Structure 1
Amino acid sequence: MTARPTRWAAGGSDNDYYAETFAALVAEGEDVEGEARLADALCPRGARVLDAGAGMGRVAAALQQRGHHVLAVEPDAGLVARAQATYPDLPVLPVDVLDVDARMLAAAGAPEAFDLVVAVGNVMVFVAEGTEVAVLRRLHDLLAPGGRVLLGFHPVDGPTTSRDYAPADFVADATAAGLHVDARYGSYELHPPTDSYVVWVLARGTDRA
């Protein structure tokens, strides 16, 4: 079990803005599927997808609507409740990704390995201090052969309680976790890399051509 509180949990009630903002956008019919469009392009039709740190489930639900077999993982009870209310057909494991094991996956009717693991929305800058490599290793271990990981976060000046995570430090941690960088972009629309936001596509080092 995870022992340290995450940086997200340290935000307490200040985190309410996240779910409230996106719930309002969903209710108003606004486009909240930018990350999901790129994720959809990264995997085959009917792919096995894990959304780690799924928040209120908007990306996972968008991928489910595109015909993928999706499992959301989210430890924040308030966000889990919001996901279940907004997307009642979306399966959600209410745990930290570090706690996901074969028993949980089997109980959820999910596979043990995934074609794509998604961790967008600043997940990596909100994990518990000192667990970055462990989280990346867990994402690595959840990949099926040939699978990939899609991540995105603000490397500097991110939300309250998040850490600064220089791209060079992230690459070093990903490498230590057995992953390598397939691509880096500045947005989910594949703009060139920027200093303000980073989008990564990673794969297992053993799958590298």
Structure 2
Amino acid sequence: MSDPAPVPASRWAQAGPEATEGFGRRFAELVATGQDVDGEARLADALLPRGGRVLDVGAGMGRVSAALQARGHRVTAVEPDGALVEQCRATYPEVDVVHADLLELDDARVAGVLGDRPHQVDLVVCVGNVVVFLAEGTERRALATMRSRLAPGGRVLVGFHLVGGPEHARSYPPEEFVADVDAAGLRVQHRFGSYELHPPSDEYAVWVLSAAD
């Protein structure tokens, strides 16, 4: 069997810590002041069976993982940024966070929480602009990797800015995203304009995906 393709540096990594360190600090301040940071988790919870298996891709400081775990789900957080991994472990020590890129993740690294079926999750969570920070040209590979982790009936929750997104993030037009979804063996079940299920907008997109077959 050939070795997997190498994982190129993401747009996030290329931006460097000076450009990205404010992300974790901003959410830490929101959490500390009691602000609502659970919007994505509420929708994710609605998409899951009770006690569901979740893979939180690009989990950041772990706020979505922690909220879903508190709701009784089994969650593995995956985060490639070492500083955010440390922040997650300090803020939410109960969250199982794996320091890795999605594209280098193997079963052994998630089996501790997900048990004997680490390749079969009920929901892959990929929110907070993660897909627009992927390494250039890896979008279809990343989506196919998420597809490969789904249990029968499993779904993928994706959210990102269409305009006005973070600096250093790519522009990802909806039609291009849908083409990549199709090529990765997924299909769009729903598109919304927010995690509160507003109609689709030109500013932000929330997608619910499932396996095409």
After superposition, residues 111-126 of structure 1 pair within 5 angstroms as 111-126=118-133
Which secondary structure does the structure 2 equivalent of 1:117 belong to? strand
After superposition, residues 1-209 of structure 1 pair within 5 angstroms as 2-12=6-16, 13-106=18-111, 108-110=112-114, 111-206=118-213
Separation in 2, partners of 1:7, 1:21: 20
**What is the TM-score of this pair, normalised by structure 2?**
0.94
Runs of 4+ in 1 over 4 A off after TM superposition: none
Separation in 1, partners of 2:110, 2:32: 31
Q: Give the drift of 1:14.
A: 1.2
**What is the TM-score of this pair, normalised by structure 1?**
0.96
Q: Give the drift of 1:157.
A: 3.1
Q: Give the drift of 1:109.
A: 3.8
Q: Give the drift of 1:104.
A: 1.9
Note the residue ranges of structure 2 that are not aligned, 5 or more in a row. Answer: none
Which secondary structure does the structure 1 equivalent of 2:110 belong to? helix
Which secondary structure does the structure 1 equivalent of 2:55 belong to? strand
Q: Give the drift of 1:27.
A: 1.0
The root-mean-square deviation of aligned C-alpha atoms, in Å, is 1.0
Q: Give the drift of 1:155.
A: 2.0
1:117-166 CA-to-partner distances (Å, cap 9, x unmatched) read: 00000000000000000000000001100000000001233111100000
Report how many residues are paired. 205
Larger mean Cα displacement after TM superposition, 184-193 or 155-164: 155-164
